[in-house]
A and B are shown apart, each in its own frame.
Chain A
């Protein structure tokens, strides 16, 4: 008890000293909550500009964020043991859901992602899998001695690859990558040997050409080609990258000012309120704004890794670590893509891009993290 109290004080005595009991009782990590609220608020400010000062969109997004925060709080109330117990069943349900999507899902933009069940709001099973796959992998691996033996690694890879493949078939490369990353991070945190990791990378580099010829669709290939040379098709596929780089670059050090970004407001920047919203931020708030944003993200990642490190059992640790790193993958892939480092894949900027589904999933993940952090048994290590 004493050591635990000492520990909490060392974090931030002024904030957590007297209120520790309260935060523990409501199962909320105040540091993480504060960081997330700052991020969401900043996101709404940028969205107002990115959505061309459409207040209705900002309000809608605000409502979604409210819902997402509620979801987070709900998840935070559940004991991590609940997640562990439900993991296999949730996984099974998720796989069935993905199968159902492939069989009779609802399409949008040439991809089937949605599932409509009678009596339920329509939802994306693939989105759910971002949480369920790491849970399942963590459930499976936490039952083994860690670091796991190769065959357990193999089984857990299967657990990851099966939903990935099903999501790719929809096709939804972005989500598939995130789901895969979530699973792989679990295996990595579980202590998959470096030999296996290097072997895995070797395999990826070999299979890449095979993927190119047999798996990837034309539009996906086009995105890769466009990344390599955006000027090859400046009015077509290269347009997005050229325009987003122009937006970012023209922002300069301190930006053009809020609502002053010409690239986005004059409609040169496509998807300026969804996947490419970071270009709006970069254009209007410049390098300084970008550094602040990335710093905020870094703080969130640090806090989450810290939570993971303090987690008391393997399942919680693996799950927390994986969810944290998945969050980071969002950031890196989105910013990398918008700034022309990575090919264009449909990955939103977490908690800032317009859209409800990914925000809810992300907030749920933070709820899981808070749950893990606030359900610790008070025993000294």
Chain B
């Protein structure tokens, strides 16, 4: 302040007060702006931000329904759900992904495949903050190690989920099939809503066929999460509807017996309860452990299974298409009698070979010396080829096709067996279409003993045998015996479409059945050694299917032919003759002869089913309880 001058304090005060007024106005205006801003956010746009806030905190999580359980006919659990721990990673939270992955790989083994699968899923379109699986099936040590190092692994979480487990997988893999991770094709097929929480889907067998039944209905929970996505509490929950439990006709004991009987060989056993069509056993040996397919099998392990010469992955029972050979003879006998091509009394002379008139080619009988004079009963019991060659010529392909198709050949006659093949029932049209050739009488000759073009699956053979056992009435093969919940088996099973086979003379059935009984019990029956000493009567037919054909006069030396080139041994049959409880088809690959290898297997199954186990589940349990006393 310059000396000698005085400040005008009043003026300065007024100046200040004017300025203060300006400031006051500014303060009020600016506060007004803030209030207006709050009004805009909290009143005008309140709805928007409420939605944002709810979206922030409330996440809808799908809750996968527990998959329905699968029991055998005695209530033995064949497929259950087991908690499995897996490592997942949420990319959004990982920060430096490379570093986290590197650290994780230091803690537990992550195979190249797992990593590759993870990287692939990382590139695919996905929801933000979705956890991507990195490795499945952690053991307890790995879980503990992860827990210790958790703070170093942002975005890594250990998740538990229920995963299918097959306690008797080696025995049941082919019958039940298995579940596996949903792949891209399946993703397009399934209902995305219902499968929102599900990672697994039935890939084959029962698991595939009854997928809808077993899967259940997805549930939801609205959960409050924090900014890091951690679930804090569940606000609202709609429980999933668990999949229905199902009971199969399958009997694990029979299944196990089948595997024991075929142990060390390759082959298949199909056993049907003729009255119901229920599949008691559906075995293809060797089996495999389907559990490794559930969480994803390693390339090495898979290659080993796939390339094994025993083809464990191959479901012989449903998909093995074999020449039925002589096992077709009982059905052909029915056809021959009913069509009038032969009669019960007609006898022929079997010199050991057959020749069509004016033709040079000879068809051999399996018995070089021939069977001599044989009628139809002998022809079945002793498996005389010549009789059937001649009968086939007399019937012609159209008649044969007609009758065999009535027995379910050439089609998948099953109700709920996923993946069953149709075999091949040749016809005139078929040959024209496929081979562009007319049907030759020689083709009929081959067809007469179930060779040539004819192919049938073991399941088809068992089915046809079951129809025979039923004297023509059909009960399509099926697996489902019972289902939990409101629905009945009838609602779930597909419609049965087959008409019973009615014959001109119903006695024909008994005649053919008796001839089959002679196979087991007759003095010259081919399987008489297998039928010996049984306290019940059984009916059967042996068969042999050539793996490679021999020239007309070539000698067949079993010793010299390598084991894998040996004939397949076949057998079909049922028991007891009068009140059939079980019908089977047995194929032992490269087993040599049907009578020597396959028939005893069937006998063991008959004995087990009829003598050891009662056909009725209740009485089994009662018997078991009695045994425990």
Residues in chain A within 8 A of chain B (CB atoms)? 143-147, 185, 188-189, 191, 235, 242-243, 245-253, 262-263, 266-268, 282, 286-287, 290-291, 294, 297-298, 301-302, 305, 308-309, 313-314, 317-318, 321, 324-325, 328, 331-332, 335-336, 339, 341, 381
* A336 and B34 in contact, given A249-B52, A250-B53 (Cβ under 8 angstroms): yes
| Chain B residues positioned under 8 Å from A321 (CB to CB) | 16, 19-20, 23
What's the interface size class on B, roughly? 35 or more
| Chain B residues positioned under 8 Å from A188 (CB to CB) | 19, 23
Check A309–B17 contact: CB distance below 8 A. yes
| Minimum Cβ distance to chain A for residue B136 (Å) | 29
* A246 and B53 in contact, given A145-B7, A290-B35, A318-B16 (Cβ under 8 angstroms): yes
Q: Is B76 an interface residue (CB 8 A)?
A: no
Check B33–A248 contact: CB distance below 8 A. no
Check A249–B228 contact: CB distance below 8 A. no
Q: Is B43 an interface residue (CB 8 A)?
A: yes
Interface residues of B in 24-55 (CB under 8 A from A): 24, 27-28, 30-31, 33-35, 37-39, 41-43, 45-46, 48-50, 52-54
Nearest-neighbor residue (CB-CB) of A322 within chain B: B23
| Minimum Cβ distance to chain A for residue B94 (Å) | 13
| Minimum Cβ distance to chain B for residue A201 (Å) | 14
Chain B 336-367 interface 0/1 with A at a Cβ cutoff of 8 Å (1 = within):
00000000000000000000000000000000
| Chain A residues positioned under 8 Å from B629 (CB to CB) | none
| Minimum Cβ distance to chain B for residue A65 (Å) | 24
| Chain B residues positioned under 8 Å from A302 (CB to CB) | 24
Q: Is B514 an interface residue (CB 8 A)?
A: no
Nearest-neighbor residue (CB-CB) of A261 within chain B: B53
A and B contact pairs by CB, cutoff 8 A, 6 listed: A189-B20, A235-B92, A249-B50, A252-B46, A290-B42, A321-B16
Check A262–B56 contact: CB distance below 8 A. yes
Check B43–A267 contact: CB distance below 8 A. no
Q: Pick the contact of B38 from A262, A317, A339 — CB < 8 Å?
A: A339
Stretch in B152-160, B219-227, B237-245, B572-580 touching the partner: B219-227
Nearest-neighbor residue (CB-CB) of A288 within chain B: B42
| Chain B residues positioned under 8 Å from A248 (CB to CB) | 38, 41-42, 49
Q: Is B232 an interface residue (CB 8 A)?
A: yes
CA distance A144 to B2 in the complex (A): 8
Nearest-neighbor residue (CB-CB) of A254 within chain B: B42
* A332 and B34 in contact, given A189-B16, A318-B16, A321-B20 (Cβ under 8 angstroms): yes
Q: Is B303 an interface residue (CB 8 A)?
A: no
Check B23–A305 contact: CB distance below 8 A. yes
Point out which of B7, B27, B33, B48 has the most chain A C-beta atoms below 10 A from its C-beta.
B27
| Minimum Cβ distance to chain B for residue A166 (Å) | 27
Q: Is B123 an interface residue (CB 8 A)?
A: no
| Chain A residues positioned under 8 Å from B112 (CB to CB) | none
Residues in chain B within 8 A of chain A (CB atoms)? 1-2, 5, 7-9, 12-13, 15-17, 19-20, 23-24, 27-28, 30-31, 33-35, 37-39, 41-43, 45-46, 48-50, 52-54, 56-57, 92, 224-228, 232
| Chain B residues positioned under 8 Å from A341 (CB to CB) | 33-34, 37
Q: Pick the contact of B34 from A146, A147, A335 — CB < 8 Å?
A: A335
Check A339–B41 contact: CB distance below 8 A. yes
* A266 and B227 in contact, given A249-B45, A321-B20 (Cβ under 8 angstroms): yes
CA distance A189 to B19 in the complex (A): 6
Nearest-neighbor residue (CB-CB) of A301 within chain B: B27
| Minimum Cβ distance to chain B for residue A332 (Å) | 5
CA distance A23 to B224 in the complex (A): 53
| Chain A residues positioned under 8 Å from B53 (CB to CB) | 246-247, 249-250, 262-263
| Chain A residues positioned under 8 Å from B37 (CB to CB) | 335-336, 339, 341
| Chain A residues positioned under 8 Å from B41 (CB to CB) | 245, 248-249, 282, 339
| Minimum Cβ distance to chain B for residue A143 (Å) | 5
Check A191–B7 contact: CB distance below 8 A. no
Check A268–B24 contact: CB distance below 8 A. no
Check B46–A267 contact: CB distance below 8 A. no
Check A246–B49 contact: CB distance below 8 A. yes
| Minimum Cβ distance to chain B for residue A338 (Å) | 10
Q: Pick the contact of A266 from B1, B34, B232 — CB < 8 Å?
A: B232
Check A291–B38 contact: CB distance below 8 A. yes
Check B42–A298 contact: CB distance below 8 A. no
Check B15–A252 contact: CB distance below 8 A. no
CA distance A263 to B58 in the complex (A): 11
Check A332–B30 contact: CB distance below 8 A. yes
Nearest-neighbor residue (CB-CB) of B1 within chain A: A143
CA distance A42 to B17 in the complex (A): 32
* A287 and B39 in contact, given A262-B224, A267-B226, A325-B23 (Cβ under 8 angstroms): yes
Known: A247-B49, A286-B42, A341-B33. 8 other contacts (CB 8 A): A243-B227, A249-B41, A266-B225, A287-B38, A291-B38, A305-B23, A314-B16, A336-B34
CA distance A245 to B226 in the complex (A): 17
| Minimum Cβ distance to chain A for residue B169 (Å) | 45
CA distance A248 to B45 in the complex (A): 10
Point out which of B7, B16, B42, B224 has the most chain A C-beta atoms below 10 A from its C-beta.
B42
Check B46–A290 contact: CB distance below 8 A. no
Nearest-neighbor residue (CB-CB) of B7 within chain A: A145
CA distance A369 to B539 in the complex (A): 116
| Minimum Cβ distance to chain B for residue A324 (Å) | 8
| Chain A residues positioned under 8 Å from B12 (CB to CB) | 146, 191, 314, 317
Point out which of A297, A317, A336 has the most chain B C-beta atoms below 10 A from its C-beta.
A317
Across the A-B interface, the 8 shortest Cβ-Cβ residue pairs: A249-B49, A250-B53, A287-B42, A249-B41, A267-B226, A250-B49, A266-B226, A246-B52
Check A298–B27 contact: CB distance below 8 A. yes
| Minimum Cβ distance to chain B for residue A329 (Å) | 9
CA distance A286 to B42 in the complex (A): 7
Check B35–A294 contact: CB distance below 8 A. yes
Check A309–B16 contact: CB distance below 8 A. yes
CA distance A294 to B8 in the complex (A): 37
Nearest-neighbor residue (CB-CB) of B28 within chain A: A298
CA distance A245 to B30 in the complex (A): 19
Point out which of A144, A249, A297, A302 has the most chain B C-beta atoms below 10 A from its C-beta.
A249
CA distance A378 to B13 in the complex (A): 17
| Minimum Cβ distance to chain A for residue B60 (Å) | 16
Check A266–B224 contact: CB distance below 8 A. yes
